[in-house]
Every structure is written in structure tokens, then in C-alpha cells.
Structure 1
Amino acid sequence: MNQDKERLVRWIEGHQAEMIDFLKRIVQVPSDNPAGDCYPIAAFLHDQLQELGFDEVSLLEVDQNEVKAAGMISLANVLSRTKFGSGEGTCVALNAHGDVVPPGLGWSVDPYGGEIINGKMYGRGVAVSKSDIAAYSYAVLALKEAGISPQLQGEIDLAFTFDEETGGELGPRRLLEQGTISPNLAIAAGFTYSAVNAHNGCLHFEVITTGKSAHAALPHTGIDALEATTKILNGLYEYRQTLTAKKSPVAGIDHPTLVIGLISGGINTNVVPDQCTIRVDRRLIPGEDAAQAEAEFRKVVEEAVQTTEGIKLEIRKILHAESFGPVPEDSPLITALSSNWQSIMKGKGELAINGVPIYADARHFYEKGIPTIMFGVGPKRLEEANGHRADENIRLEDLVTATKIIACTLYDLLGEGRAGKD
């Protein structure tokens, strides 16, 4: 580790208490999605970044009609540009999201308290992914304030968005489509103990069966939509078993999955149900043909009720999230990250590089041909942090460590404008 990187590490260690407090205050701002009232946290972060000394910070409001169409209440994106040298050369985007799933039941602490117990901070969104917002912000601050910035050339964009839980269409996708950000490289929210170079895609379907209501005493005079839906359920569960044979070559990703997550229907106990609706999650492994997966799904559903007289069937695709990666392990971005990981995590071997079965905002950058990696604050497995569960937490040690690794990686990527010229 050279002297500049040693300065970065010392600066982060000297400001870790401030960074922890910054994260705590972010956790204390509710940003559940749904319901998706996320303008308040965006405005809060905008003000906080300005107070931290970031020069060019924008609060980018999203058209209210588009927000409502996405099923949210309010939304804005936060963008901070930091230029080094002339600003020409490599541009790196750091993207993390501040919207979170609702806390749910079972918490032993206040989900919006940011309480610290035995070296861990607890709170909804602290792992997914408010801690990444803190790490990215302080990594860039270290580059600005540790006395090494004259050595750097390029630009770092902090792109903090707030609709990942609803697909990221109005966050990172919008910023990229409109040309608001045009990075050469991107680092997206992830975990400290692995570099994620791939993730699954996803299809969501809504299937509606419509029959005819009747009195329960005369069921033969009606057409039972729930009975028809049961045939569809059986067909989908049989189809699900066949997906296990489609193995992914990407480490960390096994095979496609299918889950029937929601079901609703019926009028009353004594009425033949005239309509039933299900919603289905179909995960796509990297490289899988989404059109073929959709065609297979529709065929299974249609064949399940083709002999059921009087049933009307509607199949709606309500989400298509592309898969991400795999990004080559020898790419300059992963190479720089791996080298700095080993320098900071002395004695812990090499950085693991793998995929994950979730889908996330990293895909939006990858779709644009931007080399991307998921890396941030978190454990080896999401379950350890209780991500999306009660008592979500991160180790404060991981927060500090990840910030050091990110800062040193950015130093390499912007050092004399070398990255982007390989």
C-alpha cells in the first residue's frame, strides 16, 4: 500500500465516528417502499451531502404522474458530482438505494432507531442499502480531503436513488436513459466479503381467471374460477420441478425458480367464486432467454385450463428485470477491487467473486454496456444481516473496512486517469 492509500485509510479511521453517525441519521428517516413516500429521505440526503462539503449536489425531482404510475407516493434522485483534476477521463458511478422494505413484525429494537449493540447497528435498510450510501459518501470524502486529490484525474458520481424495491425504473434507469449520468464504470450496492459480478433477472406475472358466480347451494349453475386456478397452480408447481435441470455456470447462482406469491379471489363463503387472481415470480438465471421463459410460462397456464368450459383467462406480464453479468473476473474494475481488498483484509485470502440469485439496480448499468460490480457493506451472506427481515443489521467494522477498500479502489481507477485507457 503506497503513502496515498495509507493517508486514505488513516483519514477514514479518523472520521469513522462521523460516518457511523451519518448512517444512523439516514436509518432514522423512514423510507418504506411500499408505500413509497421517498422524497423526504432524498431531500434529507441532499442537505446532508451539502453539509459534508460536496460541491455539486442536485435533488432531481421525478414527475408525480410517473411516480404514481410506479405505485409510489413521492420520489427524487440525489446526484453528487466530484471532479478530480480537470474532470476529464474516467467517470465512476457509485449507486446505492435508500428505499427499504417495510419493517414487518418481530423486531427486538426500534427499526428506525439505528441502535448500536455489540458493534452492530440495527435498523430497517441499514444493510440494504443505507450503509452503502454512507460508505460511498465517505470514500469520496477521503479522496477529497486526505491530501491526495492532485494525483487523481476524472469524476466520481454519487447516484443515490430510491425506487430499487419497485424496479429502479425511475432511479438509475432514468438517470442513464436521460444522460444525467454517463459513467465509464459503476459500483453498486453489495457486500464486503465478495464482489458480485452477476445476478438473476426476474419476470412477474399476474394471472386472472374469470368464471361465473352462483349460490353455493346450486354450484352447477356457476363456473368456479378458483377450481380453474387450482389446475393452474398444479401445472405451475409441476413446471417448477423442471427448472432445477437448468443449471447456471455462474458461482453463487443455481437454477431458475418460480414462486406463486399472492392469491386472491371469491366473494363470500356461500358463493361460487367468479374470479381468482395469482401473482407469480419467475427468476431468470444470467444468459437465460426471457422470451422463451415467458412462452413456457404462458403455455403451462393456458394448457391447465384449456378443457375447462366457460373460463376466461388473462395473463399479464407486470415486471421484466434483465439479469446482470457475469462481468469478466479479469476486468480492470474487479482487478483493482480485488487487489485493494487483499491489502486491507490482510490474511483473509482472495476476494470471492460470485453471482447472487436476487435482482438489483446493477442491471441497469450493465444493460448500457458499463462494466459494473456490486460491492459495499455487508456480511458473507445476506441472511447474516437479516436483510429484509426483523433485526436487520451490519457490523460497524464492515462499514469502515468497505469504505477503505472502496476509497483505495477509486484511487486506482482515477490515478492519473489510467482506468478507462486499459
Structure 2
Amino acid sequence: MNEDKAKIVQWIQDHEEELIAFLKKLVKTPSDNPAGDCLPIARVLEKQLSELGFENVSLLEVDEESVKENGMISMANVLAPTVFGEGTNVVLNAHGDVVPPGLGWSVDPYGGEIVDGKMYGRGVAVSKSDIAAYTYAVLALKQVSAQLSGRVDLAFTFDEETGGEIGPKRLIDQGYIKPDHAIVAGFTYSAVNAHNGCLHFEIKTTGKSAHAALPHTGTDAIEATTKILNVLYEYRKKLADIKSSIPGIDFPTLNVGLISGGINTNVVPDECTIRVDRRLIPEEDFVAAEAEFRGLVQQAVSNIPGIKIEIRKILHAKSFGPTPENTPLVQTLAVNWKSIVKEDGELPVHGVPLYTDARHFFAAGIPTIMFGVGPKVLEEANGHRADENIRLSDLQAATKIIACTLYDLLVEK
């Protein structure tokens, strides 16, 4: 570690209490999505960044129509550029919207309580801690600004839970950010270079209602849907035979997550609706996968007279990656990870089966990696579950690794 990096690391250690306080304020600000009323936390973050000395902090409110189309109440993106001169542009993107807390908490989900070296709270791991780490990494970088060229954009968004269309994708499409590299929210003990894509479908089956005493005079939509379900569950078994070559990603999956239908117990149901999640490995062609899915559903009820079906695609999240491990971004991150974490072996680089905002950067042709604050596996942090938490030691380590990585990417050669 050279003198500049040592100075960066020492600054982060000296400002640990401020870093923790910054994160705690974010955790104490509710930002559940749904319902998606996320303008308040965006304003809190804008104020925090301005008070920390960031210049030209922008609160980019999204128009009401776009917000409603994406199933939210209010939303804004927060952008804070730090310019060191001409050169490489790196964007750090993390999201501040969170899933609702749910039941089973042993602490206040909005308290930011610290117990045995861990901070607890909804969103502390996914991904408010990344917002804090990225912010303080850039602040640390300013301590050696004379040695740097290029710029770092903090791009904090609040619609990841609804797809990221009016968050990172909007920032890219409208030219607010033009990065050469992107680092997106992740965890501390591995770098994620790929993830699955996803298709969500709503299937509506329509028949004809009738009195339950005369069921033969109606057309049972739930019975027809049962045939569709049987076909889909058989299809799910076959998907397990399609293997991904990317470490960390196994095979495509299918899940029926919602079902509703019927009028009353004594009425033949005339409608039934299900929603299906179909995960795509990066090697799959989504057009072919969608066509196969639609064909299976239609074939399942093709011999039932009087039944109509409507298949509506309600989400297509593209796959991400893989970002090659020999890119400067991944290589630089790996060197600094080994220096800070000091674990045996190299930084693990792999894919994950979920989908994230990283896909928007990758789709725009930007070398992208997911890295941030958290344990080796999501379950350890209770992400999206009760008692979500992060180790404060991981918050420190991730901030140092990100700061040193930015230094190496921006230092004048």
C-alpha cells in the first residue's frame, strides 16, 4: 500500500463514527417500496451529501406519470459528481428503497440499533450501507485529490424494488451519467459479475359462471388453471437440466407466486388469475424462452371448450454479464480487496440467481461489477427478512476497498 492509499485508509478509520451516523440516519428514514413514497428519503440524502461538502448535488425528481406507471407514489434520483479533472469516469450506484419490514423483528426495523458490532434495520444491507460506503469512499479520496484525474459520480436511486426503470436506467438514457466503469451495490466478500434475468407473466383464465348445483352448465376457470399449473410444474422440473457455465448460477427456475379467482363457494368460477416468475440464466435467449412459455400455457387448455386465456408479460429484467474477470475494474478491485481483507486466496468472482440494477449498466455497454457492504451470503445479513443487519467491520472494510479501487482507477499514470 503506497502513501496515498495509507492516507485514504487512515482517514476512513478516523471518521468511522461519522460513517455509522450517516448510515443510521438513512435506516431511520422509512423508504418502503411498495408503497414507494421515496421522495422523502431522497431529500434527506440530498441534504446529507450537501452538508458533507459535496458540490452540485442534484435532486432529480421523476414526473408523476412515470412514477405511477412504475407502481410508486413519489421518486427522485440523487446525483453527486466529484470531478478531479479529465479522465476516467466511475459511477457508484446503490438504491435506497427497501422491501417492507414484515413480521418477526427483535428490534425496531427503523431504529438502526447496534448490537454486538452489528447494525440492524430494514435496508441496512440492501442497500443503504452501500450508499454510506460509497459516499465516504469518495470523501476519503478527496484527501489525495491532487494525484487524481477523472471523476466519480454518486448515483443514488430509489426504484430497484420496482425494476430500476426510472432510476439508473433513466439516468443512463437521459445522459445524466456517462461512466467508463460502474460499481453497483453488493457484498464485501465477493464480486458479482453476472446475474439471472427474469420474466413475469400474468395468466388470466376466463370461463363461464354457473350455480354450483349445476356445474355442468358453466365452464370452470379454476379447473382450467389447474391444468396450466400442472404443465408449468412439469416444465419447472425440466428447467433444472439447463445448466449455466457461470459460477454461482445453476439453472433457470419457475415459480407461481400469486393466484386468485372465483366469486363464491356456491358459484362455478368464471375467472382465475395467476402470476409466474420465470428466471433466465445469462446464456438463455429471452425471446425463445417467452415463446416456449406461451406455447406451453396455450397448449394446456387447448382442448377445453369455452375457455379463453390471456397471457400478459408484466416484467422483463435482462440478465447481467458476465463481466470478464480480466477487466481493469475487476482486477483493480481484487488487488485492493486482498490488501484490505487479508484473507487467504483471491477475491471470489461469481454470478447470483437474483436480478438487480446492475443489468442497466451492463446493457449500456459499461463494464460493471457488484461490490459493497455485507457478508459472504445474503442469508447471513437477513436481506429481505426480519432482523436484517450488517457488521460494522464490513462497512469499514468495504469503504476502504472501494476508496482504494477508485484511487487506482483515477490516479494519474
Is TM-score (shorter-chain normalized) higher than 0.5?
yes
The residue that corresponds to 1:365 in the other structure is 361
SS of the equivalent of 2:240 reads: helix
- In the TM superposition, residue 346 of structure 1 has moved relative to its aligned partner by 1.6
Q: 1:212 and 1:105 mapped to 2: Cα distance?
A: 39
Do structure 1's residue 311 and structure 2's residue 338 form an aligned pair? no
The residue that corresponds to 1:151 in the other structure is 147
The residue that corresponds to 1:10 in the other structure is 10
Do structure 1's residue 284 and structure 2's residue 284 form an aligned pair? no
- In the TM superposition, residue 89 of structure 1 has moved relative to its aligned partner by 1.0
- In the TM superposition, residue 37 of structure 1 has moved relative to its aligned partner by 0.3
| 1:337-416 matched pairs, under 5 angstroms | 337-416=333-412
4+ residue segments displaced more than 6 Å: none
Stretches of structure 1 that go unaligned for 5 or more consecutive residues are none
Stretches of structure 2 that go unaligned for 5 or more consecutive residues are none
The residue that corresponds to 2:99 in the other structure is 101
| 1:15-414 matched pairs, under 5 angstroms | 15-84=15-84, 86=85, 88-144=86-142, 146=143, 148-414=144-410
Q: 2:180 and 2:283 mapped to 1: Cα distance?
A: 23
Q: 1:263 and 1:289 mapped to 2: Cα distance?
A: 27
Q: 1:312 and 1:110 mapped to 2: Cα distance?
A: 48
- In the TM superposition, residue 165 of structure 1 has moved relative to its aligned partner by 0.3
From the superposition, tell whether residues 187 and 215 of structure 1 become closer, same or farther in structure 2 (CA, over 3 Å): same
Superposed CA deviations along residues 275-329 of structure 1, whole A, max 9, x for unmatched, are: 0000000001012100011011111101110001101100000000110000111
Superposed CA deviations along residues 85-106 of structure 1, whole A, max 9, x for unmatched, are: x2x1110000000000011111
SS of the equivalent of 1:56 reads: coil
Superposed CA deviations along residues 361-407 of structure 1, whole A, max 9, x for unmatched, are: 00000001000000000110000000000100000000000000000
Quick one: which amino acid aligns to residue 217 of structure 2?
Answer: T
Q: 2:343 and 2:190 mapped to 1: Cα distance?
A: 15
- In the TM superposition, residue 221 of structure 1 has moved relative to its aligned partner by 1.0
- In the TM superposition, residue 347 of structure 1 has moved relative to its aligned partner by 3.7
Quick one: which amino acid aligns to residue 34 of structure 2?
Answer: P
- In the TM superposition, residue 56 of structure 1 has moved relative to its aligned partner by 1.6
Quick one: which amino acid aligns to residue 109 of structure 2?
Answer: P
SS of the equivalent of 1:33 reads: coil
Q: 2:382 and 2:292 mapped to 1: Cα distance?
A: 34
TM-score calculated relative to the size of structure 2: 0.99
Q: 1:30 and 1:287 mapped to 2: Cα distance?
A: 38
- In the TM superposition, residue 345 of structure 1 has moved relative to its aligned partner by 1.2
- Percent of residue pairs bearing the same amino acid type: 73
SS of the equivalent of 2:356 reads: coil
SS of the equivalent of 2:213 reads: coil
Q: 2:240 and 2:159 mapped to 1: Cα distance?
A: 31
SS of the equivalent of 1:245 reads: coil
Q: 1:181 and 1:346 mapped to 2: Cα distance?
A: 34
From the superposition, tell whether residues 208 and 347 of structure 1 become closer, same or farther in structure 2 (CA, over 3 Å): closer
Q: 1:391 and 1:28 mapped to 2: Cα distance?
A: 14
Quick one: which amino acid aligns to residue 367 of structure 1?
Answer: A
Superposed CA deviations along residues 220-279 of structure 1, whole A, max 9, x for unmatched, are: 111100000000000000000110111000000000000000001111111111100000
- In the TM superposition, residue 168 of structure 1 has moved relative to its aligned partner by 0.1
Q: 1:393 and 1:257 mapped to 2: Cα distance?
A: 28
Superposed CA deviations along residues 72-122 of structure 1, whole A, max 9, x for unmatched, are: 0000000000001x2x11100000000000111111111100010000000
TM-score calculated relative to the size of structure 1: 0.97
Q: 1:247 and 1:2 mapped to 2: Cα distance?
A: 44
Q: 2:327 and 2:277 mapped to 1: Cα distance?
A: 32
Quick one: which amino acid aligns to residue 76 of structure 2?
Answer: A
SS of the equivalent of 2:57 reads: strand
Q: Aligned-residue CA RMSD in angstroms?
A: 0.6
Q: 2:57 and 2:229 mapped to 1: Cα distance?
A: 50
Superposed CA deviations along residues 13-44 of structure 1, whole A, max 9, x for unmatched, are: 00011000100010000000000000000011
Superposed CA deviations along residues 184-234 of structure 1, whole A, max 9, x for unmatched, are: 100000000000000000000000000111111111111100000000000
- In the TM superposition, residue 348 of structure 1 has moved relative to its aligned partner by 3.2
- In the TM superposition, residue 349 of structure 1 has moved relative to its aligned partner by 2.2
Superposed CA deviations along residues 103-158 of structure 1, whole A, max 9, x for unmatched, are: 111111111000100000000000000000000000000011x2x11000000000
